């Protein structure tokens, strides 16, 4: 599939959110995190969060547009930490932070916070004093999965990192491992959580719910 990679516009945020939520709908943690399903307040929360990120100078949002269909088929969000000194001085997230006013009703704040704090702590230790690029999210519309759009977006990010000569990091689900490995990412840690600690007592696929932390070192041009 022929796609064009372009910066995401603010008007594209609702489409980005829709693609992200649909891409993750089958994930076993979704019913744990959002037990009420995909509600209007959930979409509103995601759109508000994306809008704030859009105006953050460290963020880059990109989209893959199908040349044939003329629509967004994949999207990505990146954080460029280029001022390592400023990053080191930034206050870490408060483990006792309460949900924001627009947090979706019934959302599992404890589960959300657990992974957020663990990921943040690891990044601070891994990249202390060093610039890096974080891939926050890379999603493809399920109707266009497996047709190369996600790879084109990932290639864009890798090119940025290689030009800057800096490392990259990301969290992956098991489904994303093969794509990221193809681009030189390596697993450095596997994170699991006992969902019973967060109020979930139904059976679930523990392996599918795992998170893989991956790192890619900069590569010289061929």
Q: What ranges do the domains of the chain cover?
A: 3-216
Residue 58, C-beta contacts closer than 8 angstroms, at least 6 positions apart: 79, 80, 81, 82
* 3-216 belongs to CATH 3.40.50.2000: no
What are the pLDDT digits (tens) for 166-194?
999 999 998 899 999 999 999 999 988 77
Calculate mean pLDDT across residues 66-86: 93
Q: What is the pLDDT of residues 95-128, one digit of tens each?
A: 999 999 999 999 999 999 998 999 999 999 999 9
Beta-bridge mates of residue 214: 170, 187
Q: What is the pLDDT of residues 80-91, one digit of tens each?
A: 999 988 888 888
Residues 32-60 have pLDDT tens digits of: 999 999 999 999 999 999 999 999 999 99
Residues 151, 167: Cα–Cα separation, whole Å: 18
Instruction: Give the burial class of 48: count Cβ atoms within 10 A of its Cβ; 0-12 exposed, 13-18 middle, 19 or more buried.
Output: middle
């Amino acid at each position: 599939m022929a796609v064009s990679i372009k910066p995401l516009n603010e008007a594209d945020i609702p489409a980005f959110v829709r693609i992200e939520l649909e891409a993750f709908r089958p994930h076993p943690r979704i019913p744990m995190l959002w037990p009420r399903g995909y509600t209007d307040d959930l979409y509103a929360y995601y759109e508000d969060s994306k809008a704030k990120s859009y105006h953050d100078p460290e963020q880059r949002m990109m989209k893959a547009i199908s040349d044939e269909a003329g629509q967004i088929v994949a999207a990505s969000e990146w954080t460029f930490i280029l001022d390592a000194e400023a990053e080191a001085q930034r206050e870490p997230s408060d483990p006792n932070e309460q949900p924001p006013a627009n947090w979706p009703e019934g959302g599992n704040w404890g589960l959300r916070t657990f992974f957020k704090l663990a990921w943040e702590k690891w990044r601070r230790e891994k990249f202390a004093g060093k610039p890096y690029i974080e891939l926050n999210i890379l999603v493809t519309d399920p109707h266009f999965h497996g047709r190369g759009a996600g790879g084109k977006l990932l290639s864009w990010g890798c090119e940025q990192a290689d030009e800057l000569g800096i490392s990259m990091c990301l969290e992956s689900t098991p489904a994303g491992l093969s794509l990221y490995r193809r681009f030189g990412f390596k697993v450095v840690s596997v994170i699991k959580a006992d969902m019973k600690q967060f109020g979930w007592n139904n059976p679930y696929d523990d392996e599918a719910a795992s998170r893989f932390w991956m790192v890619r070192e900069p590569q010289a041009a061929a």
